[in-house]
Structure 1
């Protein structure tokens, strides 16, 4: 097994830390006086700075230090938190992400521009400029929360980290660097606890330190250095006399004023040096898995190993007759059970809460509100709903397009909303819920709704429909997803070029999903994305049509019933069946697929549904349930409607997987045509 690159490990953890800090900043926008949120932002930057320096991301550490210093002033009440400061810090977070991904690139100009904006956002009276050397704003401070104001005695700091500190990721050199940043420092390393060479554990920390700091430094500034390790370490901070200073100097201990000078050059050349000299490889995708889920997986693998041993013993023993057949059948049933449980366990491992996806859009809505000058609130619901990681990642771009269109086209300005009796703040609502084998994601706004007349006029002008052509409301709204379609009066930075909604539709259909749209003029629009839970394995119903086998996703199957020859003949021309006081259209798959075969005497109807609509599929035989491993269609067959993939059967044959969404839409269209004709 290849060990993971430490730099890639840092990038993964830094991304999560940046996400957490960004969410705190977005919350801070609505609660500028929240001390907890300010502390969360400060701690996030402090951790990112220290970790970045540890792994050689020096540019990131240097830039983050300035942002950390800004929020340190906010935390101490020297500068107020403002909406503009939060907005600039969010831009700084984007720059930090770039520094994490491309640590070797030259970002000096962009860094300087953001820091200049950050200084301006803090106001003219915010203290020393951020571009100066670290420690200027702290080392010259005369405030002291501990009652030491005016005291000219220097500080004496003694600290010893727990033995496992370095193994847990704490670098003592970084702590010493932060102490040195506070002002002129004398550092003495205490090596009395280092064991003999044969008993030395190189992973453990055996050294303690005595540090002398200037009198002007505050106790709070010293404690901030140890903020993340204070609970587990030995720490003494006290004012000291000249006699005590002499004791430290005369103890014969090594004293260093520059810790980096005492460290060999190769020891400080970390991942960052290598990153600057070679292109960054994209990090492999990963999923965080709870330990208990891995325990379940290990249990299943252990059972499978036992069954494999039984099978090997049976094969070597050559047991024949009824006893051997019975033993083989028992093993076969056990393997089938374990295969099903392993499948379910592996599917759970790939599932992630949709909250991670929804969290991305808080920043998007915040930026769109500033860009459009509108007041927009984002409300989310169903964040605990789980979805396949691959599906979640592919949904990000489509939802971005939909939210951008809702903010630009759907929501009115504050003046327009007040004139129509609405609250000044527009609302975008993101909801997720699981129904059977699908996840429903709705994007709802309370804006002006879709103007049908403008949609029809634009569609006629683009030649998508004929003038005066009869369309249902659903068909009219679906025209919005046609390539190049846009009803925007002018092109803006957000929309108006007709690019985006057709991409949304293609992406959702590529996920075997469906888009439903409902819009009420003056009340807003709701777009519902129906997405399968997973793209890998599904439960299917195996059926035969003519000489071919097909799989229908079991999650879409409502019921099965028999279609006699008399009913088949009687329904010719209408293709409708009465099902509990409701007419349900059905499709004869034998005719749809042009099999060229005669129907079986007793055909079956498989009733499927999606989005509240139902349609029946006439098949020759229902073979039974089938665990379906989905294989993608080739590039030559990918555009064929009615099929979403293929699977390999136990006998080596291939069965096509029916696209339920396409078939239901086809059945409903035929029903509407029949009703219009009749």
Structure 2
């Protein structure tokens, strides 16, 4: 049954009339004229169409819509699938599915809000809006089943709003099932599959609005009333309103009346309406008892729409009139009407997620470049400081030179016997060549001092600009990260649907309760964590929640509870997933671990250690490949994804009470804070969320707690066992310092294993830009990413929790470092010339030596208080303390007496050499030295000292 040619012509004329109105919206109200003839034609066409619909409905047996058996349903659905596979446009459907996801989520949120407060009609309006948009989008995309189901659900909401449907519990169940089905349809469309018709749900929804036969006999016959034109009461003089009434299944009761017949005096009518009861009571009296059970829902539905429209029209008049009266309280707003907000809504823009990620990545690159500039500026500041000290020394030397020059002039005057007796040197300046040179040097020194001051000013200005740039980049990054943040609430309905589906599939009852759903996470973090969340919720239902009978026998509520809580702790987001089910089967987990060779049969393990076994790849307690055996199956995938995100997972369970999973995730993936440390000549980064604290202890105290059998170190109420970080990364640990200097220990916690990590050097905390690594490197246990330091070095970000968990079963003796002397030579270079220090340091480091430098004798003695080098390279002439004094103090210190000393100086005379040998210097080289000569001098002296120490 379709439209006739005359109907199409009428539609075209209506479109032209509406376009004319739209084109003249800015004109005065006098422009608008009534379209009485057009309205009459519309009414006539409407009556004719109603007649054809009723005639057709009398030839259809409604029972034919009901499925005779399951096979007929499958056949109908298959036919619908075949039709949809060829009908809807995949490109348009792809666009629609993105919109449908948001609309379904919005509808589910509104439905949950209405179910919590069923007296609040505003939630029904919030539910109706996304359903209306979903209906139009589905039909536009050619996905008819989704459009039909959304239409029926929208009608149900209108019936709830107007009071026609009173069984709120049944309506909520039907609406929830319909939304679940709409979500499933959306997934099928996204996958390119056929969509079922949703016939059963549509019939269930229609059945809710059908009154009983007793109710039908007690009221007058009524089918539908439709208001074709909705003028305001004040402008109803010239408009015609057509009311179509169908009595006893026929259209004979149709009549056309004018607005004057309905409202002879609109103003007085409004005044009378204002004195009447609120219009919220009208629908129940007029429309509630319509005998719709005798007709198809396609005929009944428009009556409901018309009833709501008529209610709104009368309600508007009542509200307007009430507002003018002086009342002690404002007039109530009729159901379905919300006050329009007066403030302007902020403008929103859709941005491609990839573009946003690229912008954030570029801001990270800018941050790295700024860090490198800051490091360069730090080096420049150091060199400017060196220049300042050099200028100060130069001025002091020039002052002494001038004094010596004046003394020589006086001495010469005395030797000449006052040849020029008329003036003495104090009465008349006499300039010698050396005096002229000294004064020229003084002027040059002043020029250098001016340049040095200018450089200091420029460096300060540059540092100020860098700080301003740092603030700008930080604000940019914060803004971009806020843009990436999305509320967890957006996916609550999806997770609730997962729980409902899993419970229905396993014949169980379960509900999801979410606390802190308004908390925000990084979009990328949330998207990557959704599959693990879904997996954990399915496991909680299928493997954790018991069957209703079992729960009742144990004194529990038949409906299991799964709680998901979300809160923020510093730069982390903590997500807890807990259920009140049976808990994990620890005995089955342990037995499976023994079978797989993960643990020994007689090995003593705590419950916390047994739980960690479920994180091993391929671990399952199932005796066969099923979906309902082995609590924790697939948790290795969850743990791996959490590790890739730089997070941590903690598990706990109690038999008969349930399980709890605590997940710690970074607030954002782009920018993070890490602790940089050095061990075994390599630098590593530890995410700050994994660090419990940092302590500095004396060497003896560290040795007392080192190893698995040693006494644990207690800090903050937690006990830690110390271990070298090098042991976890496959490197040979360095021995502890021989002196009593403090040793930094980094305290970390991985699950129930608390460890104190000993590193060779603690560089400090840094804000880093996290970079992903390739799949080959990411598969290595203990590596979660990489970053670039300010000096351009690439540093690996360690997943220390994975490393600690992997080695917790090692034997105690395997965890102890082997006592082995460091093969690298430790050299102390002492020279007042920064050029000599830098050149010598680079030479030695190229030859695999560890180097410390000191700029004079005092600085060298401070270094020797904390370190014992293998050899000392010493200059003679230095400020504050010269090389002879340093050599004397070293030889008089029992701890340093056997350390070889090589003097490198420009004083190559025999007198200087003899003085050095007298003080115990082992070798003597002149400047400039040959690189090969220096290396040949170092090697035998170091080997001789090591041999003597090994002999003792």
Pairwise TM-score range, normalised by the shorter structure: 0.5 to 0.7
What is the correspondence of 1:243-282 to structure 2 with a 5 Å cutoff? none
Q: Given that residues 158 and 305 in structure 2 are in contact (C-alpha distance below 8 angstroms), is that contact kept between their aligned partners in structure 1?
A: no
- Alpha-carbon distance in 2 for matches of 1:407, 1:672: 40
For 1:200-279, list aligned pairs within 5 A: 221=306, 224=309
Cα distance in structure 2, aligned partners of 1:499 and 1:285: 33
Instruction: Using the TM superposition, give the Cα deviation of residue 544 of structure 1 relative to its aligned residue in structure 2, in angstroms.
Output: 2.0
Q: 1:119 aligns with which of 203, 206, 210?
A: 203
CA contact (8 A) 2:744 2:759 kept: yes
Q: 1:337 is matched with which residue?
A: 471
Distance 2:463 2:569 in 1: 36
| Cα deviation 1:525-563 (Å, max 9, x = unaligned) | 112222222222111222222322222223333433334
- Residue 439 (structure 1) aligned with residue 573 (structure 2): yes
> Does 2:794 align with 1:654?
yes
| Match runs of 1:345-424 below 5 Å | 345-424=479-558
Structure 1: where are the runs of 5+ without partners?
A: 128-139, 145-152, 160-178, 187-213, 236-282, 305-310, 312-317
Equivalent-residue separation in structure 1 for 2:122 and 2:475 (angstroms): 44
Partner of 1:522: 656
Deviation at 1:672, TM superposition (A): 8.5
- 8 A contact 1:586–1:615 mirrored in 2: yes
- 1:483-522 superposed matches below 5 A: 483-487=617-621, 500-522=634-656
Q: What's the secondary structure of 1:637's corresponding residue?
A: helix
Output aligned runs, 1:264-303, within 5 Å.
285=353
Change (3 A) 1:56 1:220: closer
* DSSP 3-state at the match of 1:123: helix
2: CA distance between counterparts of 1:645 and 1:61? 46
Cα distance between partner residues in 2 of 1:478 and 1:594 = 23
SS at match of 2:541: helix
Q: Is the 8 A contact 1:517 1:527 kept in 2?
A: yes
List per-residue Cα deviations over 1:303-337 (Å, max 9, x = no partner): x9xxxxxx9xxxxxx99633323321221222223
Which whole-Å CA distance do the structure 1 matches of 2:308 and 2:188 have between them? 29
Hey, which of these two has a bigger chunk of helix by percent? 2
Matches within 5 A, 1:476-625: 476-487=610-621, 500-567=634-701, 569-571=703-705, 573=707, 574=709, 578-580=713-715, 583-593=719-729, 595=731, 598-599=734-735, 601=737, 602=741, 603-609=743-749, 614-625=754-765
**Mean Cα displacement is larger for which, 336-345 or 56-65?**
56-65
> What is the CA-CA distance between 1:650 and the residue it aligns to?
1.5
| CA pair 621-106 structure 1, distance change in 2 beyond 3 A | closer
Per the alignment, in what secondary structure is the counterpart of residue 562 of structure 1? strand
Take 1:521 and 1:673, find their aligned partners in 2: how far apart are those partners?
A: 35
Q: Is the 8 A contact 1:608 1:615 kept in 2?
A: yes
Q: Does 1:628 pair with 2:764? A: no
Distance 1:126 1:672 in 2: 76
- Aligned equivalents of 2:619 and 2:779: distance in 1? 22
In the TM superposition, what whole-angstrom CA distance separates every residue of 1:343-375 from its partner, at most 9, and x where no partner exists?
A: 333333322222223332222222233333333
Contact 2:546 2:582 in 1 (8 A): yes
Measured on the aligned residues, the alpha-carbon RMSD in Å equals 4.8
Aligned partner of residue 776 in structure 2, secondary structure: coil
Q: Distance in 2 between matches of 1:632 and 1:219?
A: 58
CA distance in 2, matches of 1:489, 1:35: 53
- 1:25-44 equivalences in 2 (<5 Å): 25=111, 38-44=124-130
Moved more, 626-635 or 89-98: 89-98
Aligned partner of 1:89 in structure 2 is 178
Give the whole-Å Cα distance in 2 for the aligned partners of 1:585 and 1:360: 43
Q: How many Å separate the matches in 2 of 1:355 and 1:410?
A: 24
Name the CA shift for 1:156/1:667 in 2 (closer, same or farther; >3 Å).
closer
Moved more, 381-390 or 559-568: 559-568
Matched, 1:46 2:168: no
Q: Give the distance between the partners of 1:672 and 1:419, measured in 2 at CA.
A: 47
CA distance in 2, matches of 1:84, 1:41: 15
Equivalents in 2 of 1:68, 1:225: separation in Å?
18
Deviation at 1:644, TM superposition (A): 1.7
Report SS of the residue matched to 1:636.
helix
Judged with a 3 Å threshold, the aligned counterparts in structure 2 of structure 1 residues 370 and 36 are, in CA distance, closer, same or farther, namely farther
- Does structure 2 conserve the Cα–Cα contact (< 8 Å) formed by 1:585 and 1:668? no
Contact 2:544-2:631 at 8 Å conserved across structures: no
The whole-number CA distance in structure 1 between the counterparts of 2:814 and 2:160 is 69
Closer/same/farther in 2, CA of residues 356 and 660 from structure 1, 3 Å limit: farther
**Structure with bigger RCO (C-alpha 8 Å, 6+ apart):** 1
How big is the shift at 1:20?
Answer: 1.3
C-alpha contact (below 8 Å) 2:164/2:209 kept by paired residues: no
CA contact (8 A) 1:59 1:99 kept: no
Q: SS of the residue aligned with 1:447? A: coil
How far apart, CA to CA, are the structure 2 residues paired with 1:654 and 1:569? 32
SS at the partner of 1:644? strand
**Aligned runs of 1:149-188 on 2, under 5 Å?**
156-158=229-231
CA distance change for structure 1 residues 673 and 419 in 2, over 3 Å: closer, same or farther? farther
Preserved CA contact (<8 Å) 1:546 1:599: no
Q: TM-score, normalised by structure 1?
A: 0.65
Question: Are the equivalent residues in 1 in contact too, given 2:648–2:665 (CA < 8 A)?
Answer: yes
CA contact (8 A) 1:445 1:524 kept: yes
Q: Which has the higher strand share?
A: 1
1:19 maps to 105
**Distance in 1, Cα, partners of 2:505 & 2:144:** 33
| Rounded Cα–Cα distance in structure 2 between residues aligned with 1:429 and 1:37 | 25
Following the alignment from structure 1 to structure 2, what is the Cα–Cα distance between the partners of residues 379 and 19? 16
* Farther off after superposition, 660-669 or 13-22: 660-669
**Take 1:608 and 1:351, find their aligned partners in 2: how far apart are those partners?**
28
Q: Does structure 2 retain, via aligned residues, the 8 Å contact 1:352–1:388?
A: yes
Change in Cα spacing, 1:10 to 1:615, as seen in structure 2 (3 Å) is: same
Corresponding residue of 1:64: 150
Q: Distance in 2 between matches of 1:577 and 1:461?
A: 32
- With over 3 angstroms needed to count, the CA separation of the structure-2 counterparts of 1:122 and 1:369, relative to structure 1, is farther
Which residue number in structure 1 is paired with residue 282 of structure 2? none
Alpha-carbon distance, 1:648 to partner: 1.0
Deviation, structure 1 residue 19? 0.5
Q: Do 2:227 and 2:306's aligned partners in 1 also have CA atoms closer than 8 Å?
A: no
What is the total number of aligned residue pairs between the two structures? Answer: 526
Structure 2 contact 104–179 (Cα < 8 Å) conserved: no
Q: Is the 8 A contact 1:141 1:217 kept in 2?
A: no
CA distance in 2, matches of 1:75, 1:286: 42
Give the conservation status (yes or no) of the 8 Å contact 1:505–1:515. yes
Classify the secondary structure of the residue corresponding to 2:540.
helix
